[in-house]
Structure 1
Amino acid sequence: MLYGKASAHWTAICLMTSWFLEYCAPRTLTSCAEMVSLSVALCQYPWRKQKGSCESGYLWLVGIACAVRPTAAIPFIPLCLQHLWFTHSKMWLLFKYIVIIVAVGVMSVGLDTWYYGELVVVPWRFAHFNALSGLASHYGVLPWHWYVTQGLPATLTTHLLPFMLAALFYPNRHKELLSICLWSVIVY
């Protein structure tokens, strides 16, 4: 566990009292699969105590989450760059990254092609639909500040005060996770 056994109880309380999770989790299987994959990947990530580690097992979970929904890569971009920066074997880790990306990509394209009966590359279709064709605007276009002024407060609701207190009183201990949250909000 990331913060020890005691954190499991607080995590369970946060999950059970999150209206947003209650709304989104049953909505689609992909939302649940992405959330679980990324949560387990965060537990597997080599944090400070293993800074020089060349471990890359968490990348399989990130790869699976990205195969399901390509935006799952956003929180892990800075973590992967940090991991690559601090490892002692940069070339070996980079080789592992490439092998995992290619393996997950081939499996994803293979499964989708087998299922649909034609060549399907989900990340390409995702980018084409959301960025290149502009069809995503059909679901609404929000102003640049929406995530900070409305989205994040509405999502956090009862968790906003504890989140802000943790950010204020424990900035060094939770600096990496808080920066990932901030990065994700900015990118989205």
Structure 2
Amino acid sequence: MIRLAHLRMVFLESIGYTYPLLFATIYKILHFLNYDIVQLLVWLPRVVQACLSALADIKLLSLVQRLESPDVAKWTYFCQLCSWFTWYCCTRTLTNTMETVLTTMALHYYPLPGSRTRNSSKYLILVALAILVRPTALIVWLPLLGWHFWQEGDKLKLLSHHALPIGALTLGTSTLLDCIVYGKWTLVQLNFLKFNVLHNVAEFYGTHPWHWYLTQGFAVVLGPHLAFFLHGSTLTPKRYRILLITIIWTVMVYSLLAHKEFRFIYPVLPLCMVFCGFSLASLKAWRRPAACALLVLNLIPALYTGLVHQRGTLDVMSHLRQLCDVSDPQPEVLFLMPCHSTPFYSHIHCPIQMRFLQCPPDLTGNKSYVDEAELFFADPQGWLQGAFPKPASLPSHLVFFDVLEKEILKFLELNRYAKNADVFHTHIPDGRVGRRIFVYERRV
């Protein structure tokens, strides 16, 4: 157990504290003001993230207004605001969301031809912050930084007066913060590279074929905007070619990585909206019907994924929060679900005992390594009997998806567990993730 905990901490050292510090500060202020109630702990970080995303949207509008006609700017902004994937992600406190926010803001100050931007420091600071939040932001910015360097007349000044000082200051500040929090010397960005490139740790959480972004991922993220993006790519002026190159480059580089997720390419979505804006602005007679169709076709998945799909893991935490009022016996909750399926103490905010199945990646090269979650799902009944040989060690509550119920029914009946909550989760069950979430309570 000590070795496992050590490995987990080593893996966590690939995660920087620059972004979490924002929400830690919010929590500390709430605590200082004695307003650290669970509703604010849950909702305030989302509201802050939504405000930052809204500011990035305004910066995108301002960029296109500066370069193009009001018509193109208006339709670019419209496309950004009605994107279903933007709705789905923009309030989520994911590093990908903050990476997208900082990338969009940086693009506002980026020296595109005709933008009349002369101060490189503003955009480079935002790029540096994006890379600190999520080092893979460098993938998006490599072609943009390379193009700027190629076009820059005074390359030495760009490096010595802007790029190097900004890079050194942001990296130094971030490293100092991480060292203070971790309590020892650590370079998070180097650890991120080591774990995700050299050790291929991300593959531990699933792989996709190389063409997944090309055949599925990119089309799903763009959704109904895809046709407008393709059309707009043929209409935009030459100065936007670097944005198109950046989009293609990013998708191709991410295609080389085995572990793929839709959110990884979220940062290029605002770039795509520029091309969609050109497309809608050029339609003239068909513009209004096309805009209405785009809005409706985005509204349906936006509302479904935002309000209905996979909501059970949040709703069940509201139910478990009632246990905060129980003192005798002390509640103990065990989540028998794929690891990290639910939020944790931020949605409970009381010191009841909770535990979920662990799934830390192996960093030792042990080819026979199997994490706790896999061991459990290989033999749920046997695992439970081995983990709780005595009735006194049993948790008071078990939380699991409905697909698991039949496999552990004998254990539940033998130990006098009874269902006390049935929560809807999704219309589209997948493998170990069921349609509903059950909460079983032990009757003593």
When normalised by structure 2's length, the TM-score is: 0.40
Q: CA deviation at 1:111?
A: 1.2
1:50–1:91 Cα change, 3 Å: farther
Whether 1:141 and 2:202 are equivalent positions in the alignment is no
SS of alignment partner, residue 92 of structure 2: coil
Q: Does 2:245 match 1:179? A: yes
Q: Deviations over 1:1-55 (max 9, x none)?
A: 3220735543443333222223333333422321111101001011113689563
Match of 2:191 among 121, 125, 130: 125
Structure 1 position 72, deviation (Å): 0.7
Range that drifts further, 37-46 or 89-98: 89-98
Query: Is the deviation greater in 23-32 or in 76-85?
Result: 23-32
Indicate the residue corresponding to 2:231 in structure 1: 165
Give the corresponding residue for 1:104.
Answer: 170
Q: 1:98 to 1:41 in 2, by over 3 A?
A: same
Sort the Cα spacing of 1:8 and 1:26 in 2 relative to 1 into closer, same or farther, 3 A.
same
CA contact (8 A) 2:219 2:226 kept: yes
Percent of counterpart pairs with the same letter? 39
More deviation, 141-150/166-175: 166-175
The 2-side partners of 1:159 and 1:35 are apart by 18
Q: What's the CA shift for 1:160? A: 0.4
Paired position in structure 2 for 1:41: 106
The one-letter amino acid paired with 2:247 is: C
Cα displacement (A) at 1:120: 2.7
1:65 to 125, 130, 134: 130
Is contact 1:62–1:76 with CA below 8 Å preserved after alignment?
yes
| Distance change (3 Å), C-alpha of 1:8 and 1:169 | closer
Determine if contact 1:2/1:43 at 8 Å carries over to the other structure.
Answer: yes
Q: What is the match of residue 4 of structure 1? A: 65
Mean CA deviation greater in 140-149 or 25-34 = 25-34
| Structure 1 runs not aligned, ≥5 long | none
Per-residue deviation, 1:137: 0.4
**What number of residue pairs does the alignment pair up?**
188
CA contact (8 A) 1:153 1:160 kept: yes
Q: What is residue 88 of structure 1 aligned with on the other side?
A: 153
Distance in 1 between residues matched to 2:230 and 2:87, nearest whole Å: 22
Which segment drifts farther, 146-155 or 44-53?
44-53
CA apart distance, 1:80: 1.2
The structure where strand makes up a greater share of residues is 2
In the alignment, the residues of structure 2 paired with residue 52 and residue 115 of structure 1 have an alpha-carbon distance, to the nearest angstrom, of 38
Flag the structure with more relative contact order, 1 or 2, with Cα contacts below 8 A and sequence separation at least 6: 1
What is the DSSP-based 3-state SS (H/G/I as helix, E as strand, rest coil) of the residue aligned with 1:2? Answer: helix
Displaced runs of 4 or more, over 4 A: 50-54
TM-score, normalised with respect to structure 1 = 0.89
Worse-superposed segment, 105-114 or 58-67: 105-114
Q: What is the aligned counterpart of 1:32 among 97, 100, 109?
A: 97
Q: Structure 1 pair 2/166, CA: closer, same or farther in 2 (3 Å)? A: same
Structure-1 separation of matches of 2:181 and 2:194: 20
Which deviates more from structure 2 when the two are superposed, residues 153-162 or residues 15-24?
15-24
Structure 1's 52 and 87: CA in aligned 2 closer, same or farther, altered over 3 A?
farther
